[in-house]
Chains A and B, each alone.
Chain A
Amino acid sequence: MKPFEYVRADDATQAVAMVAERPNARFLGGGTNLVDHMKLGLVEPELLVDVTALPFNRVEPLPDGGVRIGAAVRNSDLAANPLVRQNYPVLAAALLSGASGQLRNLATTGGNLVQRTRCPYFQTLYTPCNKREPGSGCSAITGHNREHAILGASQACVATHPSDMAVALTALGATVRVLGPAGERVVPIGELNRLPGDEPHQDTTLNHGELITAVDLPALPLAKRSAYYKVRDRASYAFAQVSAAIAVDIHSGVVRDVRVALGGVAHKPWRAHRAEALLRGAPATEDVFRAAADAELAEAKPLSDNGFKVPMVRNTLVSVLRRLAREH
């Protein structure tokens, strides 16, 4: 890998300024994704600004009953946080299903959100990949695409977003606080990551030099009854083939409110709005669950190797909803 400068930032505004003014500078969180990419030669930053020592390492209650998660909070610490475990079990479960203990001890909330796809062609310098090298083509569409997207993909890119945590945050309707050279802004989680469209090289809507400082979780009583289920090729330490984050409030056999997000199916964590719409106000029955899953999957476009994801998503949604309904 190419030699680079390293700075440990102790002031957020300065960190932003340092990265913003150099196109080839990057923020460094736990480094579990970025450093791998540097070793592979995918990115060759001149400057790394380490943001883990910034004062964003706390999980605090918000006055409205929500919770603020600092961007430097490690995945392990977040999963173990009592507020999170009690009020947002789906988030703790999603975190603990990801990566390995060692990786979670390093990975940060900010870094996890903007980690890049695991598409093998993206990670290989010499294979065509529109995300790595715009206009070069997509090797996955005609190649190995078992792990790839079935929803919201484009002719340019069929990659998936790898994060488990982000799927839970998407179900919870979190907001992301961002500090840029021009000041602070707030991005709804659903607008942080993009669908690939014609510009798959743009993973997110963040501008260069914009720093994630925190993630806010809204007060969401129904999240107390929430679950994350991840289907993967082995019992641990594997990315999701398919995952579902679900929170539901059922009263007298009727779904009063529900949040559903899916992982492993799209270029971003996929909020299942259609399924939610069908479920809300409907009886909490197996048939309804199935119809909701089918509605969400109506526009699924499987590739040569990943047709299995359609039944896998459907069955996962139904079985998690069934389980949550039983617990009511």
Chain B
Amino acid sequence: MSIGIPVERMDGRAKVTGTAPYAYEHQVADPLYLHLIQSTIARGQVTAIDVAAAEALPGVAAVLTHHTAPRLAPDAPAEFRALQSGEIVHHGQVIAGVVAESPHIARHAAGLVRVTYDARPHDVRLRADHPDLYTPDMVAIGAPADSATGDTHAALASAPFRIDQTYTTSAMFHSPIEPHATTAIWADDLTVYEASQGVHDFTALLAQALGFPADRIRVIAPHVGGAFGSKGLARPHAVLAALASRMTGGRAVKVALTRRQMFALTNHRPATVQRVQLGADADGRLTALVHDAILSTARYEEYVEWVATSSRNMYATPNRRTTHRAVRLDVQMPAPMRAPGEAQGHFATESAMDELATAIGMDPIELRIRNEPSADADTGLPWSSRNLVECLRLGAQRFGWAGRGRRREGDWLIGTGVAAATLPTWFKLISVAYGPSHAAVEHVGNGRYLVSTGASDAGTGARTALSQIAADALSVPLSDVDLELGDNALPRAMLAAGSMGTMVWGSAIVAAAGEFRRLHGTDPRPGARAEGAMTGNPHTERVTIDSFHAVFAEAAVHAETGEIRVPRLLGVFDIGRVVNPRTARSQLIGGMTMGLSMALHESAAVDQHVGAVVNNDFAGYHIATHADVADIDAVWLDKPDPYANEMGIRPAGENGVIGVAAAVANAVNHATGVRIRDLPITPDKLVVSRFAR
């Protein structure tokens, strides 16, 4: 068996020695370099654009503007319709690009382009009392915006214990270490090296935007340096690199966004304002749960994230209401960022649960156990396997939860907190959005197998885990398997999304291996080949397949300065079978670090006047550093889910993110008595609170 073994990352050596090529680094002959120019207003019109000085600079091959750029398909998604008109719909939008013999010349020339605007009033700030709030038809995951059962008004009115609080979260930026980058060569056919989470989906979008046949577009992405949802779509930089190549006679064109550009051009996690109302009886049983989420979307294209949907089935209660309201702002479209919706939603509800536990005087773990549901209240179906209580109990034991007392060590006040969480599995999106995933198995001779799928390894370790799945499915040693991915010439596979990659692509590989053995037996000829596909999950009509976890945090707050440290963080995960403990652990503690960063650091400074986020670099937009991450651990229950797939695996990676912010907020509250309901929890918010003198 290979599954379950902590195999080292197969591309680890290539990555740390710098020999694994990323999108910008592929060797191509005689490349040109594209530098993008961005709008400095949030809404209005480009009235004039003077490119004379840029064009006159030696080494400049072309300047692309909305006057000169080739036309794109009018039905292409708004995000990709770069340079099709002078209209500005968000700050930092691409309004021109310079192509030159070196990146330095391109950047210099970009600075010489003069743009005049006709600016119109903009609005970029999310407010709970915004006059233009509306009810979307659906949230982006395809679920209804609202849900209601029972009589929440009456239940809240008569509840002996009641919580009614508002929680806010900041917009966040994906910030993968590899910037978004493209190398495009459009001679006859189009070849694109792209930092992409899904080569096939990317191909389809690019083909649509360019009005060029998908089967004449080759997309190659063997390595992707982090994505977190931000590399799922084709973006203006990729579209423009292709157009620039076409405009320069098919020369290769390279583009990499600068870190500052990424803050405006690669989407973001939407900010939220969430009101949570809980009613409970003296035994801690929830008599009502109301979760009302308000969030921003873009005026030019709708994306309303699902923030309150997990409140539809996380806990048992007879009276329940969830709503989503959105407001269209003059901002770039938000988009999924690791654990979209769940990350913000759980901060609100799991903080509120902690507030309720305090109000009742009940242990917060006990409160959650009392409200453990017997079935999925949203669908009425049973769970395939829900072991949240076991996560809480095991975590309590390992963390040393019992007898938790707040204490003081020198200047530091120390407390502990817990949160529970769920991550849904979006199987139904396979039929409506993601499409089936395929894989192929080929015997190359001497007992060696080449397994291929157009999957993507965005740094998760998918390449390694899928090889392990393939080895077991073929009943051969891992060393006899070679795996290819990240290329649209390989069998079509869905993009890496919803933490479903390993699971879905793994199922396709298992199907292909089964088909291979059926057709070719155990002693196949060289060149024998078979394909298989994952087209959906047959059990979703009968069971709900979700993942669960519990997070425990210890927080230390400086009694004088309000500084916050998190000395200990433990996650206990119910994620089915774990294929590779090494890469899974790294995904989970990576996710937990992201959750910690959301809890303590990541904050978008939105300037309403400028119409943009103004702390748009890594000195201003803080992400957790090594020094912020202390004792961090992730463990799992190892309970294969027989309904999820043949391997028993469920979505894993994103779980790491979800519960952390609330666990940290709850620990800060335990340490100080101060409840911070506005993320991130920064020293300024604590130093002005009553605990500090």
The finding on whether chains A and B are genuine partners in a shared complex, rather than unrelated, reads yes
Give the interface of A toward B (CB within 8 A).
1-3, 39, 41, 118, 120-121, 123-127, 139, 142-144, 146, 229, 231-239, 241-242, 306-309, 311-312, 315-316, 318-319
A-B complex: 6 closest residue pairs judged by Cβ atoms:
A308-B684, A235-B627, A236-B627, A315-B560, A126-B40, A319-B560
Residue in A144, A237, A311 whose beta carbon sits within 8 Å of that of B607 in the complex: A144
Q: Are A142 and B688 in contact (CB under 8 A)?
A: no
Is the Cβ of A312 less than 8 Å from the Cβ of B562?
Answer: yes
Residues 653-693 of B at the A interface (beta carbon under 8 Å): 682-685, 687-688, 692-693
Cross-interface CB contact of B622 among A125, A126, A142, A238, cutoff 8 Å: A238
Looking at B111, B560, B605, the one whose CB has the most chain A CB atoms below 10 A away is B560
Decide if B683 touches A231 in the complex (CB within 8 Å).
yes
Known contacts A3-B108, A311-B692; A143 and B619 CB within 8 A of each other: no
Other than the given A146-B605, A311-B692, A312-B562, 11 more pairs (CB < 8 A) read A2-B108, A120-B620, A126-B40, A142-B609, A144-B615, A231-B562, A234-B600, A236-B627, A238-B619, A241-B683, A312-B561
Residues of B within 8 A of A (CB): 40, 104, 107-108, 111, 411, 560-563, 565, 600-601, 605, 607, 609-610, 614-617, 619-620, 622, 624-628, 682-685, 687-688, 692-693
How far is it, in angstroms, between the C-alpha of A234 and the C-alpha of B692 when the chains are bound?
19
Chain B residues with Cβ below 8 Å from A232 are: 563, 683
Partner of A234, one of B607, B614, B627, B685: B627
| Complex CA–CA separation, A126 to B612 (angstroms) | 12
B683:A144 contact, CB within 8 angstroms: no
A231: B residues at CB distance < 8 A: 561-563, 683
Chain A residues lying within 8 Å of B625, measured Cβ to Cβ, are 234-237
> With a CB–CB cut-off of 8 A, which chain B residues contact A233?
600-601, 622, 682-683
With a CB–CB cut-off of 8 A, which chain A residues contact B688? 307-308, 311
Using Cβ atoms and an 8 Å threshold, which residues of chain B touch A311? 687-688, 692-693
A3-B108, A124-B614, A144-B615 as given contacts; A315 in contact with B692, CB under 8 Å: yes
Q: Which residues of A contact B684 (CB under 8 A)?
A: 146, 241, 306, 308-309, 312
- Chain A contacts for B108, CB-based, 8 A: 1-3
**Chain A residues near B692 (CB-CB < 8 A):** 311, 315
Chain A: CB-nearest residue to B601: A234
Contact between chains at A312 and B620 (CB < 8 Å): no
Docked CA distance A241–B622 (Å): 13
What A residues does B626 contact at CB under 8 A? 236
Residues of B within 8 A of A239 (CB): 619
Cα distance A124–B605 in the bound complex, in angstroms? 14
Q: Are B609 and A1 in contact (CB under 8 A)?
A: no
Contact A235–B687 (Cβ < 8 Å) = no
A126 to B625, CA, bound (A): 30
**A120 near B609 (CB under 8 angstroms)?**
no
Can you list 23 residue pairs at the A/B interface with Cβ under 8 Å? A120-B620, A126-B40, A142-B609, A146-B605, A231-B683, A232-B563, A233-B601, A234-B600, A234-B627, A235-B625, A235-B628, A236-B625, A236-B627, A307-B688, A308-B685, A309-B684, A311-B688, A312-B561, A312-B684, A312-B687, A315-B693, A316-B560, A318-B560
Docked CA distance A299–B562 (Å): 23
The chain A residue with its CB closest to the CB of B260 is: A40
* CB–CB B615/A1 < 8 A: no
Q: How far is the CB of B661 from chain A (nearest CB, A)?
A: 15
Tell me which residues across on chain A come within 8 A of B683, comparing CB atoms: 231-233, 241, 308, 312
Cβ–Cβ contact A143 & B609, under 8 A: yes
Cross-chain contact A234 with B628 (CB below 8 angstroms): yes
In the complex, what residue of chain A is closest to B685 when comparing beta carbons? A308
- B619, A118: Cβ atoms closer than 8 Å: yes
A124 to B565 alpha-carbon distance, docked (Å): 32
B104, A121: Cβ atoms under 8 Å?
no
Q: Are B614 and A144 in contact (CB-based, < 8 A)? A: yes
Residues of A within 8 A of B616 (CB): 120
> Known: A2-B111, A308-B684. Is A127-B610 also a contact (CB below 8 A)?
yes
Q: Give, as a whole number of angstroms, the nearest-CB distance from B566 to chain A.
A: 10
The CA of A319 and the CA of B558, in the complex, are separated in Å by: 10
How far does the alpha carbon of A318 sit from the alpha carbon of B558 in the complex, in Å? 13
Q: How many Å from the CB of B623 to the closest CB on chain A?
A: 8
Residues of A within 8 Å of B693, CB to CB, are: 311, 315
Cβ–Cβ < 8 Å partners of B615 in chain A:
120, 144
* Cα distance A225–B184 in the bound complex, in angstroms: 61
**A119 CB, nearest partner CB in chain B, Å:** 10
Residues on the B chain within 8 Å of A121, using CB? 614
Contact B624 A234 (CB under 8 A): yes
Of the candidates A231, A232, A236, A307, the one having the most CB atoms from chain B within 10 angstroms of its own CB is A231
When distances are taken between beta carbons in the complex, the residues of chain B under 8 Å from A146 are: 605, 684
Pick from B111, B562, B565, B628: contact of A41, CB under 8 Å? B111
Central interface residue in A139, A234, A318, by most chain B CB within 10 Å:
A234
Q: Give A162's nearest chain B residue, CB to CB.
A: B619
List chain A residues, Cβ under 8 A from B104: 1, 3
In the complex, which residues of chain B have a beta carbon less than 8 angstroms from the beta carbon of A312?
Answer: 561-562, 683-684, 687
By the criterion CB–CB under 8 Å, are A139 and B560 in contact?
Answer: no
B contact residues around A308 at 8 Å (CB) = 562, 683-685, 687-688
